[in-house]
Amino acid sequence: MKTILLHVCCGPCSIMCIESLREEGFEVTGYFANPNIHPFSEYFRRREAMEQVAARMDLPMIWQDDVYNVPGWIEAVHTMGIADNAEYARCHYCYETRLALTCTTASARKFDAFTTSLLYSRHQQHEMIRETGEAVSSSGDFAAADGYQAAFLYRDFRPFWQAGIDRSKEWGLYRQNYCACIFSEYERFEKKLQKLVARSSTRV
């Protein structure tokens, strides 16, 4: 049985990825490494939901909490000049950071392959994730000390979108309403803010 390290962004998005990979015959291990989740309370809520999924699905987990660093992530994004996410540059940096961590860990622990639950979401830049995973895997920069490097496994998990939603609701999992970072949170609620601004301006 081939082994695979599945980067998990949250509990709800991971369910059908785990199930699908197991049906293919993979021995799946989850890997929680998400440096940019904002705020800290959100990080803990998503981590707890992933703990619940792991317990229900008897999923071995690797927790990489030591890479959580929102101030450092924001600084890097601003230093690179991509805070406004022109051409989805910020998203690419986010994908690359997490997939590089996953590849490094998968290679060091001699997994046959690695992939990510980001490929489940209809709201992510799907082709960019695929291209980034393939680039990380083929670069050679994230190999183990002995030169071994796990391969990136591409799968389109989006057909399981509704099944994952239904299962996560059935299990009573916390379901987030924005991607992860402070910028995506702002973009998610910006329209609501603008409505408040317009309403208050009419009262002046």
Question: What end-to-end distance do the CA atoms of the chain give, in Å?
Answer: 68
pLDDT on residue 190: 83
Distance CA 88, CA 82 (A): 8
Query: What confidence tens digit (pLDDT) does each residue in 152-180 have?
Result: 999 999 999 999 999 999 999 999 988 88
Burial-class residue 199 by CB neighbours within 10 Å (0-12, 13-18, 19+).
exposed
Instruction: Give residues with Cβ within 8 angstroms of 12, minimum separation 6.
Output: 49, 53, 164, 165, 168, 173, 175, 176
Q: What percent of the chain has pLDDT over 70?
A: 98
Residue 204 has pLDDT above 60, yes or no: no
Could you say which DSSP state residue 37 is in? -
Under 8 Å between Cβ of 174 and 45: yes
Q: Rounded to two decimals, what is the model's pTM?
A: 0.93
**DSSP H or E stretch at residue 13:** helix 11-23
Band (pLDDT 50/70/90 cuts) for residue 191 is confident
**pLDDT single digits (tens) 138-147:** 999 999 999 9
Q: How confident is the model at residue 108 (pLDDT cuts 50, 70, 90)?
A: very high
